[in-house]
């Protein structure tokens, strides 16, 4: 069991005794609805059975001690709850530190430090939200260790707040919400403008969800993520004057086509078009699933990727290769990039009998074109954060 190894490492580093808790928070994959979450649109993510494990124990002093089994060469990194600020050299610890800081900003200041060991089996930098998984996990641990009264939805909002304000990544709510609110066997149909949500069962008879990881590393803060968000805000300001809307997610395709000339810049118009059309695709995709029309869902996934490639321009040669090679394989129902883009992963729905051929063919073509291997994960839909021991 993975969690037992994490607990063992914790005791090796910090000693036995005291009340040591062991916890898990999932990663997430977004089935459709990309770059809509900060545009007031809908998203359709689900939690995964891979994620982040943590062992933690409250301390009597103000010291924070962090250790990641994924970055064991960095050793134990020490900090203090008295001096929480983002530091480039602090690396991954800025995520748990940011959540501790955000709890304090929300009136829930931890008066004691803690010892923490983490291990994630989400591929780092893959776009499956390892950072949001760490944020939700940290919040869940703080809730347990210090008795803070917060709901899982609160944990999502605090995680987003910490990533925006502490780590400087202007992310929407989707990642943290999907992780904190995950439900086994279901995806979450979330209206990001209102946080109204429904669980929709994912019934894939004779098919699997396959994640293809490009192994191109990316950092959200370093990417053009914030630039795309800014472009959409500029487009909204222009079209909003013409039609009086609060978000691009308020527009139908017909309304956009009628008023798009109000956006003077062609690039901004393309960005807005993606946000509007992707939101409508997401609504249609959930309707298709409710009718058990997985083929239609797959068509909308494919259209989503084309829009992300051509209008939003966030794919790149690695993700395009994975998707375009997937489309060539018999038995692939749909395939698209998932996450922020600029590297990371694709998500595909593949018929059971085609999974092995999919991995072989896409993997070989990718290595030949890109020069290094992709990794493939056949995943299950899991639940939200949990205390394991």
Q: Which residue has the tokens 């403008």?
A: 193
How many CA within 13 A on the CB side of residue 341? 25
Q: How far is CA 382 from CA 121, 143, 195, 376, in A?
A: 14, 21, 21, 18
- The C-alpha atoms of residue 340 and residue 9 are separated, in whole angstroms, by 33
Residues 73 and 334: their CA atoms lie apart, in Å, by 39
Active site residue 175: yes
Q: How many angstroms separate the CA atoms of 318 and 118, rounded?
A: 29
What is the enclosing helix (H) or strand (E) of 277? Answer: helix 266-290
Query: What's the distance, CA 126 to chain centroid?
Result: 9
Exposure of 322 in the CB half-sphere (CA atoms within 13 A): 31
Q: Who contacts 170 (Cβ-Cβ below 8 Å, separation ≥6)?
A: 38, 164, 225, 226, 229
How far apart, in whole angstroms, are the C-alpha atoms of residue 321 and residue 305? 12
| Cβ pair 69, 117 in contact under 8 A | yes
Question: Residue 260 in contact with residue 273, Cβ under 8 Å?
Answer: yes
Write out the DSSP string of 48-103. Answer: EEEEEEEEEEE-SSSEEEEEEGGGGGG--EEEETTS----GGGGGGHHHHHHHHHH
Sequence-ordered list of residues with C-beta below 8 angstroms from that of 370, at least 6 positions apart, any chain = 214, 317, 318, 321
- Per the residue annotation, which of 37, 115, 175, 250 is the catalytic one? 175
Strand partners, 187: 200
Q: Where do the DSSP E strands lie in 82-195?
A: 114-120, 186-191
User: Phi first, then psi: what are they for 231, rounded to 5°?
Assistant: -60, -40
Phi, psi values for residue 201, rounded to 5°: -65, 135
Of 373, 378, 318, the residue nearest 347 (C-alpha): 378
Q: What positions carry a catalytic annotation?
A: 175
């Amino acid at each position: 069991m993975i969690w037992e190894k994490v607990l063992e490492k914790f005791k090796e580093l910090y000693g036995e005794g005291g009340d040591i808790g062991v916890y898990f928070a999932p990663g997430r994959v977004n089935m459709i609805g990309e770059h809509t979450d900060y545009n007031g649109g809908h998203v359709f993510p689900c939690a995964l059975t891979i994620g982040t494990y943590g062992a933690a124990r409250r301390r009597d002093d103000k010291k924070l001690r962090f250790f990641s089994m994924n970055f064991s060469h960095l050793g134990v990194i020490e900090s203090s709850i008295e001096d929480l600020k983002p530091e480039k050299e602090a690396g991954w610890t800025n995520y748990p530190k940011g959540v501790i800081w955000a709890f304090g900003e929300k009136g829930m200041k931890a008066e004691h430090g803690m010892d923490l060991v983490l291990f994630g089996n989400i591929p780092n930098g893959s776009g499956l939200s390892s950072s949001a998984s760490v944020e939700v996990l940290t919040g869940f641990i703080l809730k347990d260790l210090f008795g803070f009264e917060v709901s899982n939805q609160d944990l999502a909002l605090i995680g987003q707040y910490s990533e925006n304000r502490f780590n400087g990544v202007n992310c929407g709510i989707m990642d943290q919400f999907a992780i904190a609110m995950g439900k086994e066997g279901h995806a979450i149909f979330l209206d990001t403008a209102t946080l109204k949500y429904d669980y929709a069962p994912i019934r894939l008879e004779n098919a699997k969800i396959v994640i293809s990881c490009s192994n191109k590393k990316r950092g959200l803060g370093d990417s053009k993520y914030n630039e795309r968000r800014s472009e959409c805000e500029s487009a909204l300001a222009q079209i909003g004057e013409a039609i009086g809307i609060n978000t691009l997610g308020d527009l139908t395709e017909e309304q956009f086509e009628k008023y798009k000339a109000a956006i003077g810049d062609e690039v901004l118009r393309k960005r807005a078009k993606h946000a509007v059309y992707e939101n409508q695709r997401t609504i249609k995709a959930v309707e298709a699933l409710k009718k058990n029309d997985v083929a239609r869902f797959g068509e909308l996934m494919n259209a989503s990727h084309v829009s992300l490639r051509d209008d939003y321009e966030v794919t790149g040669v690695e993700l395009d290769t994975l998707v375009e090679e997937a489309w060539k394989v018999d038995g692939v129902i749909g395939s698209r990039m998932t996450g922020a883009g600029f590297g990371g992963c694709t998500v595909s729905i593949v018929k059971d009998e085609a999974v092995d051929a999919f991995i072989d063919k896409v993997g070989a073509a990718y290595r030949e074109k890109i020069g290094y291997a992709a990794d493939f994960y056949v995943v299950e839909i899991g639940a939200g954060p949990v205390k394991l021991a």
